[in-house]
Amino acid sequence: MSLTTEQVKRIAHLARIEVSESEALTTQGHLNGIFELIEQMQAVDTTGVEPMAHAQDVSQRLRTDVVSETDRRAAYQAVAPETEAGLYLVPKVIE
Check residue 88 for interaction with another protein (CB under 8 A). yes
Burial class for 39, CB neighbours closer than 10 Å (0-12, 13-18, 19+): exposed
Residue 6: CB minimum distance to another protein, A: 13
Check residue 86 for interaction with another protein (CB under 8 A). no
- Pick the closer one to another protein by CB: 65 or 82: 82
The single residue among 2, 21, 22, 37 that binds another protein, judged by CB under 8 A, is: 37
Q: Phi/psi of residue 39, each to 5°?
A: -60, -20
Give the residue among 24, 23, 22 at the shortest CA–CA distance from 9: 24
Check residue 79 for interaction with another protein (CB under 8 A). yes
- Pick the closer one to another protein by CB: 53 or 67: 53
Residue 55: CB minimum distance to another protein, A: 2
The single residue among 81, 84, 85, 86 that binds another protein, judged by CB under 8 A, is: 81
